[in-house]
Amino acid sequence: MSRLFFVLLKLLTTFVILGAGLWGIGLLLFRLNGTVAIVGAIGFGLAALAGLVGIWTGALRLPLGFAAVFIGLLGWWNGMVPSHDRDWIPELARLPEIAREGDRLTVTNLRHFRWRTEADYDQHWETRSYDLTQIEGADLFLSYWSGEAIAHLLVSFTFKDALPLTFSIEVRREKGEEWSALAGFFRSYEMAYVAADERDLVGLRSNARKEDVRLFRLATTPAQARDVLLAYAQDVNRLAKQPRWYNTLTTNCTTVVYHLVGSVAPGWTFSLPLDPRVLLSGYLPGYLQRIGAVRQDIPLDELVRQAHIGEKARGLSLDDPQFSAKIREGVPTGRP
């Protein structure tokens, strides 16, 4: 029995060292540059290999040595501090802030760029006010750019007396910095909120980038939409004061929204169970239908078919004040 225990312990330790080794190699490759990154990653990989050899040969000084190196790497990791003070790309140069006075929200640094192409645009930032008593509901956009598994998520709040207010959670890139999903695991990017007009956020993806944009009207009551909007407002302001790392898995455009909605969902007519589709955001429509957040009386395939608004949006001018109303034509409402 004791022999089996030690074998299992060795196997467990092996998996721990393998995981730590792969994580450390990734960290060094993505957070260091050039030759230093390669040499550091090779050296750390050799230290992990030595630790594995030591586990199975009884040379305990080898895994202990790897543990010391790994602890040092963790210290470096924990010392990384996100910042708002970098040379950001223009479209993410400003973070929104939201002030509340009674039932009125005032959004500063609301983005309303006029996009001709992704690289050709007019910059415009605004301050807009919204009356919480006039909120009607919330809608969700999914923008697909590569296959069906992953999509970017936008949440838009609709009002009786104002254009929709739309939020996007973005990787806040510096000028000249490229996006890498793998780098996003290693504190390579800060997170940003964008508060914007739909002609900006939806138009950028449907018209400038030619992505496959789909719109789902949510079955939220005005009270539920108000709750979620206020949760957004609180987190938008928190981020404006305290920078935060983006993480490809845990702090992204879907998981942040999941936690925001979950923070106000108790007592609602639907709950938010954890589901793999929260991570595989392209499959969110099935999850939303499962929990009753979109129409359940329409087959999912048909709901998705009617959700495609990309071509419709590309046929509209991004200067059209009726853009939001027109892209919703023919899209099923949130409730029968």
Is residue 84 included in any domain, yes or no? no
Rounded CA separation 315/327 (Å): 10
Report d(CA 98, CA 143) in Å as an integer.
26
Q: Are residues 48 and 95 in the same domain?
A: no
DSSP state, residue 206: I
Residue 33: give the domain boundaries: 2-78
- Whether residue 336 lies inside any domain: the answer is no
* Domain stop point among 78, 106, 123: 78
For 286-301, the pLDDT digits (tens) are 999 998 999 999 999 9
- What does the pLDDT average to over 201-215? 97
Mean pLDDT (the chain, rounded): 93
What pLDDT, on the 0 to 100 scale, is given for residue 277? 86
The continuous run of DSSP H or E covering 209 comes out as none
Pair (189, 289) in one structural domain: yes
Cβ atoms within 10 Å of 89's Cβ, excluding its own: 15
Same domain, 203 and 311: yes
Does residue 85 belong to any structural domain of this protein? no
Say how many residues make up the chain.
Answer: 336
Are both 73 and 19 inside the same structural domain?
Answer: yes
The encoded tokens of residue 9 equal: 């312990």
Whether 52 and 95 share a structural domain: no
Comparing 82-86, 99-103, 261-265, which segment has the lowest mean pLDDT?
A: 261-265
Instruction: Supply the pLDDT for residue 302.
Output: 97
Residue 191 half-sphere exposure toward CB, CA atoms < 13 A: 26
According to the model, what pLDDT value does residue 147 have?
A: 86
Calculate mean pLDDT across residues 179-200: 96
Is 18 among the domain residues? yes
In order of 94, 176, 189, the CA distances from 172 in angstroms are 10, 12, 6
| Same domain flag for 53 and 109 | no
DSSP state of 137: E
Work out the pLDDT band at 234, boundaries 50, 70, 90.
very high
pLDDT computed for residue 308 by the predictor? 97
Among candidate residues 162, 292, 173, 180, the one with its CA nearest the CA of residue 229: 162
| Rounded CA separation 306/327 (Å) | 11
| 34 shares its domain with 58 | yes
Token pair 């970098």 is at which residue? 86
Render pLDDT for 237-285 as a digit per residue (tens, 0 to 9): 999 999 999 999 899 999 899 888 888 876 554 556 778 888 889 999 9
| Domain count of the fold of the chain | 2
Which DSSP string corresponds to 2-31?
HHHHHHHHHHHHHHHHHHHHHHHHHHHHHH
Q: Is the same domain home to 145 and 55?
A: no
Query: Residue 208 has what DSSP assignment?
Result: I
Mean pLDDT confidence for 225-243: 97
Q: 128 with 220, same domain?
A: yes
The partner residues of 131 in beta bridges, in order of sequence, read: 104
pLDDT band at 75 (very low <50, low <70, confident <90, very high): very high
Last residue of a domain, one of 57, 78, 99: 78
Instruction: Indicate if 32 and 146 belong to the same structural domain.
Output: no
Same domain membership, residue 113 and residue 48: no
Helix, strand, or coil (residue 260): helix
From CA 317, how far away is CA 315, in angstroms rounded?
7
Take residue 31 and report the two structure tokens written for it: 């957070």
Please tell me whether residues 122 and 72 are part of one structural domain.
Answer: no
Q: Which of 31, 47, 78 is the last residue of a domain?
A: 78
Q: What is the pLDDT of residues 9-65, one digit of tens each?
A: 889 999 999 999 999 999 999 999 999 999 999 999 999 999 999 998 988 899 999
Is there a contact between 292 and 269 (Cβ–Cβ < 8 Å)?
A: yes
Domain-located, residue 44: yes
Confirm whether 335 is domain-assigned: no
